[in-house]
Amino acid sequence: AQSVTQPDIHITVSEGASLELRCNYSYGATPYLFWYVQSPGQGLQLLLKYFSGDTLVQGIKGFEAEFKRSQSSFNLRKPSVHWSDAAEYFCAVGNNNDMRFGAGTRLTVKP
Amino acid sequence: GAVVSQHPSRVICKSGTSVKIECRSLDFQATTMFWYRQFPKQSLMLMATSNEGSKATYEQGVEKDKFLINHASLTLSTLTVTSAHPEDSSFYICSVLAGSTDTQYFGPGTRLTVL
């Protein structure tokens, strides 16, 4: 069965610092991988996705993620965090009809 | 990405009443939509897959008679919470499957509070 693990429940970084949010998955085949961001009381916005090809994926808002098959990971990175990046981040794995979400990582940005 | 709307954004109802939540795909036709619920500070849990013109497919443990889903057109799916109870209070989010990109696009969510 497929599953997603986000080891960090809450991360705090200073504005301007770099960010890495971890995501590990378990999946029987080549996965489709996604990162979504959710602001309080809002729906989810797609940041980026990986289906195949180049393992380094560029997304919106300056985010990128790298698929590492050997580590079953799909970590999200941003070189310089902005205060507006404070939100909940969800990693997801799956296909059209069966998408599984991680528990989420809440990002706090210190001034 | 696709634009998805939900209505209402927030609803408060009395225990025992029914509430209907609409999910609309605004810029393309969606054969498949999904309904999720999210408890505070938790992840999304898939409730059901809504297919246009056919019966929804419910996840294990989700009562189909309590959470009625209708997907009568390619742009609209509705979720009706029947005989709502306080434990049904939650954040309900729909998503639309963009088949051409194999990606789900999410609505803004509906906050349901049952008194």
Segment A35-79, tens digit of pLDDT: 999 988 788 899 999 998 999 999 999 999 999 999 999 999 999
Position B88 scores a pLDDT of 96
Q: Would the CB atoms of A44 and B103 count as touching at under 8 Å?
A: no
Placement of tokens 């246009």 in the chain: B52
Cβ–Cβ under 8 Å, residues A10 and A106? yes
Q: Would the CB atoms of A103 and B4 count as touching at under 8 Å?
A: no
pLDDT band at A96 (very low <50, low <70, confident <90, very high): low
Q: Looking at the predicted structure, is the pLDDT value of residue A98 above 80?
A: no
User: Cα(B51)–Cα(B56) distance, rounded to whole angstroms?
Assistant: 6
Cβ–Cβ under 8 Å, residues A73 and A90? no
Q: In terms of CA atoms, which chain A residue is nearest residue B112? A: A41
Distance from CA of A102 to the nearest CA of B (A): 7
Q: Strand B10-13 relative to strand B110-114: parallel, antiparallel, unpaired?
A: parallel
CB atoms within 10 A of CB B33: 29
> Among B4, B43, B108, whose Cβ lies nearest the Cβ of A102?
B43
> Among A43, A103, A106, whose Cβ lies nearest the Cβ of B93?
A43
Q: State the average pLDDT over residues B17-39.
A: 91
Which residues are bridge partners to A87 per DSSP?
A107
Beta-carbon contacts of A47 under 8 Å, excluding residues fewer than 6 positions away, are: A34, A35, A36, A37, A59, A60, A61, A63, A65, A76, A89
Q: In terms of CA atoms, which chain A residue is nearest residue B49? A: A97
Position B103 scores a pLDDT of 83
Q: Looking at the predicted structure, is the pLDDT value of residue A28 above 80?
A: no
Encoded amino acid at A7, one letter: P
Q: Would the CB atoms of A99 and B46 count as touching at under 8 Å?
A: yes
What is the full DSSP assignment across chain A? --EEE---SEEEEETTS-EEE--EEE-SSSPEEEEEEE-TT--EEEEEEE-SS-SEEE-GGG-EEEEEGGGTEEEEEESS--GGG-EEEEEEEEETTEEEE---EEEEEE-
Q: Percent of chain B having pLDDT more than 90?
A: 69
